[in-house]
Structure 1
Amino acid sequence: MSNEEKSLEQVLWDSANVMRQTMGAADYMDYALGIIFYKHLSDKVLESAAKTLVDAGEVEESDVDTEAQRQAVYQKYYSDESFRDDLLDSMDMDYTIKPEATFTALMDEIRGQKFQLEHLNQAFTDLEQSNSDLLGHLFDDVDLHSTKLGSTPQKRNELIADVMTALAPLNLDSHSGDILGDAYEYMISNFASDMGQKAGEFYTPQSVSTLLTHIVTSGNEAKKGFSAYDPAMGSGSLLLNVKHYIEDADSIEYYGQEIKTSTYNLARMNMIIHGVAATNQHLHNADTLDKDWPADEVTDFDAVMMNPPYSQKWSADKGFLSDPRFSDYGVLAPKSKADYAFLLHGLYHLKSTGTMGIVLPHGVLFRGGTEGKIRQKLLEKGYIYAVIGLPAGIFYSTTIPTIIMVLKKDRPGREVLFIDGSKEFVKGKPQNTLAADNIKRLFAAYQARVDEDKFAHVATFDEIQENDYNLNIPRYVDTFEPEPEIDLAELNKEMAETDAEIAKNEAELLAMMQELTTDDEKKAKDLQNFLRLMK
């Protein structure tokens, strides 16, 4: 990284400080992430053009060392109509950004005080239209005409120019993680009090994503064409983590659904930033519970993972009893708590050889009513494979105790592995975190699938029946630490020694006080009264 470049965290902090002057964090995150995404695509265009021209022998590598040089050669060869089509074909990009609309060109306008907000707005529109299937409506939430940016066009123009200037030093290639996911998590962790509900009460921290995706991909690392499905995908971080564990990452098929359009668009951006081919991403903007998806062609997957909103209300309409996702269980999740509705939806789309992992509140382990009946049926079928208790305080804006429930369809036996991971965390502010060592221990226990004192237990189906299908972890993993036994004889000896020491010290104090003298009658009288009390 050059001296002019800054980290993701630094530019987010700088841009947030600019935008906080006029709007809340819940709004400025949409602007920051949208502009970061545009900058990323723009930088990729300049890099691709530079590489293409170097490979073609049109320019030397020394001619495209800097961003300004790359912009200049792209402008030059794009402006040549006889060369333009060949250049664009050779670049083989999924989208097009004209030289005058690159982030670099817009920054030149800002520095020259020629920038107009409409130039950026038109750049967004042109980009979307260059590949409407892949990019259509991606910038709908970046409303550059909103009065939240300022009361007058001039003020809005100045604010966005300042935001772009703050984001300009960002080099996304120097960031190794999930860029938009990390940005989202950073914004939440630093501005959660400003962001309120939109901060994502159920946003999945990267550490939890790491553990969950490692579990659902375990044993399938070498599989080509691995398919992953997240029916409550949010920003897509869970899905994107899969590539870290599959050897042929380019062959992964990603399926995801999200009800909120703005978050759905964020997931689309995330896929593009991470280089996921358009043919490998299958994302849908709809209500997962209201209508089943996907319902055509590919409908089951090697891995299903999700962190759905906890105990969310849903319709629980009686018509769902004939829905194949829920019909085998005879009852529905209650209207006030859709946890098992999400679980059964995901399970329905799991291959018989696949693995599902879902983050849920502790209540799903022991609540009765229709949830108890669904839980019993799942256990009788042998679908519940493991229950991993997570530490408290690792999610933003909620202290709800959570678990990871792991499910498999085709397996021998009906025993369930219980892991108490409540102490596997590093204390922090404002959130606790699962550190790398914590994740390693939890995953090792999951793989080993053996009893470990005060940490893990493999419960037989008979044990679970005896507990009336209650899966509360303390029923199976005893973490009670008995108080150490007290040696009364030793305690009496210590008390006697302490009493003797006190008596000795009092005697020494009395002797010193008796040596005191004074000519003041009142003080002499008070001293004598004190000595009588000491004797």
Structure 2
Amino acid sequence: MSEEQKKMLEQQLWNIANTLRGKMNADEFRDYILGFIFYKYLAEKMEIYANSILKQDKIQFRNIQENTVKGKEYIEAIREEALETLGYFLKPSELFSEIAKRGSSDSNTFILEDLQKILINIQLSTMGTQSEEDFDNLFEDMDLNSTKLGKTPEARNTIIVKVLVHLDEIDFKLEHTELDVLGDAYEYLIGQFASGAGKKAGEFYTPQEVSKILAKLVTTGKNKLKSVYDPTCGSGSLLLRVAREVKDINNFYGQEMNRTTYNLARMNMILHGVHYRKFDIKQEDTLEHPQHLGLQAEAIVANPPFSANWSANPLFMSDDRFSQYGKLAPSSKADFAFVQHMIFHLAENGTMAIVLPHGVLFRGSAELHIRKYLIEQKNYLDAVIGLPANIFYGTSIPTCILVLKKCRETPDNVLFIDASKEFEKVKNQNILREEHINRIVDTYRNRVSVEKYSHLASLKEIEDNEYNLNIPRYVDSFEEEEEVDIQAVMQSIKELEAKRTNLDREINVFLAELGLVF
């Protein structure tokens, strides 16, 4: 698929999404359109798989007569295979194209009740199987009886049918397994919703260019990963971005506090072809109720909520994640609590990269104590990378990336990169282009000092700065301004004053001729 075709598909999907907008906010119609796309994906995947099983019988899955004895035998056999391989099951009459066809027929069939049953049946089909947790309540945010879709059942039916028919016309090319057309389009939609969601966007989406940097940092020198983990995984986009940088990942782990976003993350995983046995996404507060105890991940990435509140309960001083540091992160700023949590789950040969506000680099008290321990006692800090302001949705503050390793290849220094001035302004947002991303990643991988851009600081240098990691202390990016010729400026001012005096005289002459006084 060409870039132009890809953009056309993305625009088509966005136009269909806007069919649902009505009086709903971005959050609400996002849940409907992404849910319908996911249902279409599951149905098409089911049909392709069933047809592969039925190939030797020269039968098409959609043509099976469900109520005949023979039809029931076929369906039961396919159900067993599908639950093992796909993790779910749909009957021929429950396929997306079938329900769209019924809704658009001349008889104006009312499909809302059937559609709601189908979405429930997808979940019910997994009961008692290994995939049950992955499909549990996946469609709970799609209330087809919501008055936001229409005041009457008939109005709701009409709008839903319209969306289904438009979606049914789009070919997601799922037979071409080497293409991830739908996955890319899904990511595009999530990004579009994020750009319109303001501050809430930070709850579920990391801008793609930042995701790309984090993914490239943690996969440096690796072609395969045993595991990747995101303790604040949002929609799962960051985990999936890491997968693009290597040939294979055995297992994906994530935790997300927001229920709706947790559903979105599971959908995103399945839709990108990650097998249900290969991902483990949990819903809970990561700091207060961690769900992956014992996990040692080879790569960890995170874009946690900046300076969030957490309990900082003194009982956590006996929690293995925090106990060795001697102090907890402040209750009003959980940034270092996330760092400590991630380090605890980092494998000895692993790399972690986390996006944080600049305050973590220089704030005092408990945060200084934790910073000093990480550098002086553990020597885990590998790099500090300053990013431009206004690249995240919902906040304009500049941010930084901390890269940490338990076994560092260069234990004598820490790399500082100041990439804060390299961006392109697009409307109200600053954007990192490919050249900006590549420069950050190449500088990190080559560990080079570049004038006014990067610096390799010795541990002694950091100690001398009293473990203040503020980037300008290490990278001098000051640009001298051109000298101002005061005499030339004064002369220019005199000339302008003279011109103004002459103009005043000319205006007075014109006013006198009109009999007016200036």
TM-score by length of 1: 0.83
The separation in 1 between residues aligned to 2:11 and 2:110, in whole angstroms, is 24
| Matching residue of 1:168 | 168
2:510 matched to 1:482? no
Q: CA deviation at 1:77?
A: 11
Contact 1:375 / 1:469 at 8 angstroms: preserved in 2? yes
Q: Amino acid of the residue matched to residue 80 of structure 1?
A: G
Q: 2:380 aligns with which of 380, 383, 386?
A: 383
Could you give the per-residue CA deviations for residues 146-173 of structure 1, whole angstroms, max 9, x where no partner exists?
A: 2322333222222322332343333334
| Matching residue of 2:47 | 46
Q: Which of the two has higher C-alpha Rg?
A: 1
DSSP-derived class of the 1:245 partner? coil
Q: Amino acid of the residue matched to residue 186 of structure 1?
A: Q
Q: CA deviation at 1:393?
A: 1.6
Could you give the per-residue CA deviations for residues 271-320 of structure 1, whole angstroms, max 9, x where no partner exists?
A: 11111122211111111000233124xx2110111100111111111111
2:222 matched to 1:220? yes
Q: CA deviation at 1:372?
A: 1.2
| Matching residue of 2:176 | none
The change in CA–CA distance for 1:47 and 1:418 in structure 2 (over 3 A counts) is same
Give matches, 1:94-105, under 5 Å.
94-105=87-98
Q: 1:208 aligns with which of 207, 210, 231?
A: 210
Q: Amino acid of the residue matched to residue 104 of structure 2?
A: R
The change in CA–CA distance for 1:445 and 1:4 in structure 2 (over 3 A counts) is closer
Q: 2:122 aligns with which of 110, 124, 127?
A: 127
Q: CA deviation at 1:328?
A: 1.1
Give matches, 1:289-304, under 5 Å.
289-296=287-294, 299-304=295-300
DSSP-derived class of the 1:279 partner? coil
RMSD: 3.5
Instruction: Give the stretch that moved more between structures: 330-339 or 93-102.
Output: 93-102
2:187 matched to 1:181? yes
Q: Amino acid of the residue matched to residue 337 of structure 2?
A: A
The separation in 2 between residues aligned to 1:430 and 1:487, in whole angstroms, is 35
DSSP-derived class of the 2:148 partner? helix
| Matching residue of 1:337 | 333
| Matching residue of 2:397 | 400
Q: CA deviation at 1:429?
A: 2.1
The separation in 2 between residues aligned to 1:272 and 1:202, in whole angstroms, is 17
| Matching residue of 1:465 | 463
2:305 matched to 1:309? yes
2:361 matched to 1:368? no
Q: Amino acid of the residue matched to residue 125 of structure 1?
A: I
Contact 2:204 / 2:233 at 8 angstroms: preserved in 1? no
| Matching residue of 1:30 | 31
DSSP-derived class of the 2:425 partner? coil
The separation in 1 between residues aligned to 2:334 and 2:91, in whole angstroms, is 47
The separation in 1 between residues aligned to 2:275 and 2:417, in whole angstroms, is 37
Q: 2:264 aligns with which of 259, 266, 289?
A: 266
Q: CA deviation at 1:407?
A: 0.4
Q: CA deviation at 1:475?
A: 1.0
Contact 2:205 / 2:237 at 8 angstroms: preserved in 1? no
Contact 1:379 / 1:414 at 8 angstroms: preserved in 2? no
Give matches, 1:73-152, under 5 Å.
73=63, 80-87=71-78, 92-112=85-105, 113-132=108-127, 133=132, 134-152=134-152
Paired residues in the alignment total: 493
Q: 1:275 aligns with which of 270, 273, 276?
A: 273
DSSP-derived class of the 2:424 partner? coil
DSSP-derived class of the 1:23 partner? coil
Q: CA deviation at 1:261?
A: 1.4
* Structure 2 unaligned blocks of 5 or more: 174-179, 507-511
Tell me which protein shows more helix as a share of its residues: 1
TM-score by length of 2: 0.86
The change in CA–CA distance for 1:377 and 1:318 in structure 2 (over 3 A counts) is same
| Matching residue of 1:455 | 453
